[in-house]
Chain A
């Protein structure tokens, strides 16, 4: 049988060529979180249904990649846009699932699901029992009753409503596709004013002086810019335009006493609220990393920067002290985008 050497050769090649394909199973033990820590919202990939929430305990340095799946034995949903803590509950806004999932922030078990949103972006509690939900495509804000966990009404407003903040009796709402910040009267649920800004309003923060800051990505002939708005008179007090149309300021946030603004524009920048011009050098340089999320711990000023890497693997969160020095890093879920401190 002359054919044998060939078969032996073939078999040898087959055996040598083999490589283990079975992956390590994910850690599926539910985790109860402590009193003080950081939730990291991970968007997940559009249409892959792999959104998740990670948790980091700064005291122990322990990171949990996902709280939701182990606690509920189900996937959270598609594209987690935001998490809000309110009245002892966690609200998770899932954009492409068109829903808001209500969880117990300690055990992360699901308490309720609010549905009916076309493409929700953010939730803003405006009283103990009422919240607004912005939307990418609806052209309105949804009004949600937080007791019955249901949508009770809507406020026609803008086109792609995005970030929201409450100041006194009014809510301020940015629009990604129109150059306005909308003002809503919380008592009447009515649109009462609109403030002209650059296009692409994506994030807002209220500073120590009670003034509203808006980051706009620009577009359609408007430059990317930061705006400072007087919330009482509904007027723009100052505009800080970016030099180039390829600049893209976003993820605007502030430190604990709201005296220092932080935002992403490829790198991390920071800027005192009293500044008269935009910062010229980066606070934390990206150095080839794909910065996608930014948060500042209000307790100690630690800066958390999320690196989404290639968007198709778990991200990394880098921690820097308030003086910019690197502290350490930990792994989060897929496409980490937001931080919630408690």
Chain B
């Protein structure tokens, strides 16, 4: 992954940590989902409830509701539960992934507290015809087929991608020296993503993207549950479209989105519990740039959401309207960049906290930049927090707090080795953290906790060439301390203790080599203790997963490639749990074959 300063984000995010998932990494996960990408290639901790099961995130010690997932700039966190199931976000739904660390509420609104995952569908003008068709088989009855066709000329960029995936996920595992096989675990997923970009004249462009997906999975029993015949279906329709006008000095964006997400929960085959959330979003943004390095932007966002559930007595609606502005300055020497953004949102008839981010970066030494940023963050209560019967509380306050970070990023050449590194320290406090707690007759959410999260993230990448072989090695280490600061009952032993399911230590090591048409990589991921009690007396043991991969490319004709891909996961067959009592698979293999055709037409 590369540290980047994306053009659209320059002027609003100076000083913050932003990573672009590079094309090689993206290609490795192109038939996978966001949960596996983040688990293996970022400091974000993925709470996986089992193979193919629910996967939520903890970003810098936050809750799953504190990771914003933005698809083409629009937040797709569920308005009902406030989180995103990352196992339902296939990378094929986007063409680029960026990870923005830290508080982004001033940019993206509620929920961008721990960090934001930015998924974008980029236009591919002038690329001609490209076809990507692949299939793979894997352990535990896994099968996947994927087809992607792109076409781009000077005016049009068209793309359609479709995938289908099925798995039995009936892996064997051991508990108390007894060998068992996972049951009620099969899944099936399919989706179609269509995108159209059209240039109009020299300065205008319109675009439209549609993403349909259907997932149908069984939910297996936990280790000590008698049995499960539960099943969950998720069906979503997501549209986004917009018009933009760009000149050297000015950008105008008018964009909109429509999300319709339904979930059917079947505790048994004869019961269906349905919920559905629909969201409409409209956004306008204007930006000017001066020749002297100043940039200024304004925008407005209106988000209307409604949801249906057996837990709500009526069909609650929520309207959120926001105004935002930003200013950025880049010194002509390019040694200094500063930025500031501010956002004010009104949810129904209530003003939300004013949020702001300020940041700066300075080129300290050739190849080395130091940077820092500070922001105010918040998250509004979810529909369930507000409207669930019984318990939901319409008077709940938004969670709010402050985040700050400082870091350095740089490159050096030591002999024939190119070294890249980044180190960041961060701190964040959140007040009025919402927690569901028992009352006399039922549970209800309350603004209960004050949480302080702080930590260090470090990454070092080394690249070198030996003979005809190119090598790359990346080491990441993450240290996150995220503690409750406030006693909730007289004997509460959770004060100054780590939040449950936030590993204090984690790390990744990846070594890759490439020679001619062959490439191979070996990656290890360490996840430290995760506590399963708020007093930190119960825990899950640390585990390390080793994965290896081998790829070979065969030339097929002048413009075609055939990719052969072999992969082994959890090679040492570690017996581990990410979430208590949810068994995880041992050693697993996958073999895939992909045909790629690229016309690569030259620009006229």
Which residue numbers of A lie inside 8 Å of B, CB to CB? Answer: 2-3, 6, 9-10, 13-14, 17-19, 21-24, 26, 47-51, 73-75, 77-78, 94, 96-99, 115, 117-119, 217, 245-248, 265-266, 287-290, 307-314, 316, 329, 334
Contacts and interface: CB of A to CB of B under 8 A. Distances in A.
B489 interface: yes
Contacts of A309: 488-489, 491-493
Contact of B455 (A17, A117, A119, A290): A17
8 A-B pairs closest in CB distance: A98-B226, A49-B224, A313-B535, A21-B504, A78-B224, A10-B423, A49-B581, A248-B441
B22 interface: no
Contacts of B539: 23
Given A3-B368, A13-B425, A23 B441 contact: no
A336 B218 CA distance: 32
Contact of A289 (B227, B412, B477, B489): B489
Given A14-B423, A96-B225, A310-B492, 6 more contacts: A117-B226, A246-B441, A247-B440, A288-B490, A307-B491, A313-B535
Given A18-B479, A290-B438, A310 B534 contact: yes
Contacts of A17: 425, 454-456, 479, 481
B580 A49 contact: yes
B168 to A, nearest CB: 22
Given A21-B504, A248-B440, A316 B425 contact: no
B355 interface: no
Contact of B505 (A2, A21, A77, A288): A21
B517 interface: no
28 contacts: A3-B410, A10-B458, A14-B423, A14-B479, A17-B455, A17-B481, A21-B503, A21-B505, A49-B223, A73-B176, A77-B224, A78-B581, A94-B224, A96-B226, A98-B227, A247-B441, A248-B440, A287-B490, A288-B490, A289-B489, A290-B438, A307-B491, A309-B488, A309-B493, A310-B489, A310-B494, A313-B535, A329-B491
Nearest to A75: B224
Contacts of B537: 23-24, 26, 313-314
Contacts of B224: 49, 51, 75, 77-78, 94, 96-97
Contacts of A19: 479, 481, 504
Interface string B476-501: 01010100000011111110001010
A50 B225 contact: no
A95 B531 CA distance: 25
Chain B binding site: helix, strand, loop or mixed by DSSP?
loop
Interface in B430-468: 437-441, 454-456, 458
A308 B368 CA distance: 52
A3 B441 CA distance: 62
B440 A246 contact: yes
A290 B581 CA distance: 26
B408 A10 contact: yes
A265 B440 contact: yes
A23 B580 contact: no
A118 B438 CA distance: 26
B533 to A, nearest CB: 5
A310 B456 contact: no
A2 B365 contact: yes
A41 B537 CA distance: 19
A99 B493 CA distance: 32
Contacts of B533: 312-314, 334
A17 B504 CA distance: 11
A97 B226 contact: yes
Contacts of A248: 440-441
A13 B458 CA distance: 11
Contacts of A73: 176
Contacts of A247: 440-441
Contacts of B519: none
B489 A288 contact: yes
A202 to B, nearest CB: 12
Nearest to A22: B529
The winner among B176, B226, B423, B488 for most chain A CB atoms within 10 A is B226
B405 to A, nearest CB: 12
A98 B535 CA distance: 29
Given A50-B580, A310-B492, A313-B493, A6 B479 contact: no
Nearest to A311: B438
Given A3-B410, A312-B500, A23 B536 contact: yes
A98 B489 CA distance: 33
Nearest to B503: A21
A314 B534 CA distance: 9
B222 interface: yes
B410 A47 contact: no
A337 to B, nearest CB: 12
Contacts of A51: 224
A49 B531 contact: no
Interface string B143-166: 000000000000000000000000
Nearest to B542: A21
A326 to B, nearest CB: 12
A78 B529 CA distance: 22
Contacts of B441: 217, 245-248
Interface string B528-551: 110111111111000000000000
A13 B490 contact: no
Contacts of B410: 3, 6
B200 to A, nearest CB: 48
B408 A6 contact: yes
Given A2-B365, A97-B226, A48 B581 contact: yes
A49 B222 contact: yes
Contacts of A314: 493, 533, 535, 537
Contacts of B412: 3
Nearest to B538: A50
A312 B532 CA distance: 7
Nearest to A245: B441
A74 B438 contact: no
Contacts of A308: 438
Nearest to B176: A74
Interface in B533-589: 533-539, 580-581
A287 B535 CA distance: 21
Contacts of B538: 23, 26, 50, 334
A312 B529 CA distance: 17
Interface string B221-238: 011111100000000000
A78 B534 contact: no
Nearest to B493: A313
Nearest to B497: A313
A51 B581 CA distance: 12
